[in-house]
Amino acid sequence: LMVCSDVSDLRLSDLKESYAAEAAAKGIEFICLNPMEKESYDAGMARFSPHLTSPQGEGLGGGFDDIVVLAPVPAVIADAAQWLAPRGVMNVFAGVARGTVTQLDLSDVYLKDARVIGHSASTIDDLRLMLHQAEAGE
């Protein structure tokens, strides 16, 4: 299963044209959704909700094992995090500008054994500063 979302129908169309046939040939369900089309996006994503349960309380959706965020938009990063499955990994690979802040519920890290990782072009000095600030509780 591969789910792609983008606010641009043009980019989604290009994705479908480029990869849908290859995915189908490999038995991979390939879904493209535009979050700006709220009704169809919500309907398309509902089946994947990690919070979706049956009347007996059994999990139905489960979320996603792997999420890659390629948009340096705090709201997009926060939205993506809610779909993370237990033991899942979210990779924020988006060129997020230094100082960008987003709201993440980090309880998933210890309650669901999830991981949030990122890639950066930061210098070693930047990383040392970040470590110092984290240790100081800043």
Q: How far is Cα 81 from Cα 88, in angstroms, rounded to an integer?
A: 10
pLDDT given for residue 120 in this prediction: 67
- What single string gives the DSSP state of each residue in 47-81? TT-TT-B-TT--BS---EEEEEE----HHHHHHHH
**CATH of segment(s) 63-138:** 3.40.50.720
User: Does the reported pTM lie above 0.85?
Assistant: no
pLDDT given for residue 37 in this prediction: 94
Q: Which of 42-46, 57-61, 103-107, 131-135 has the lowest mean pLDDT?
A: 57-61
Domain ranges of the chain: 1-46, 63-138
pLDDT given for residue 128 in this prediction: 82
Q: How far is Cα 131 from Cα 46, in angstroms, rounded to an integer?
A: 38
Q: How confident is the model at residue 118 (pLDDT cuts 50, 70, 90)?
A: confident
pLDDT tens digit sequence for 53-104: 555 444 456 789 999 898 888 999 999 998 998 899 998 887 788 788 888 8
Partners of 91 in beta bridges: 68, 117
pLDDT given for residue 57 in this prediction: 47
Percent of the chain with pLDDT over 90: 38
- Residue 31 backbone zone (phi > 0: left; psi -120 to 50: alpha; other: beta): beta
Q: Count how many Cα atoms sit within 13 Å of the Cα of residue 14 in the half-sphere of its side chain.
A: 6
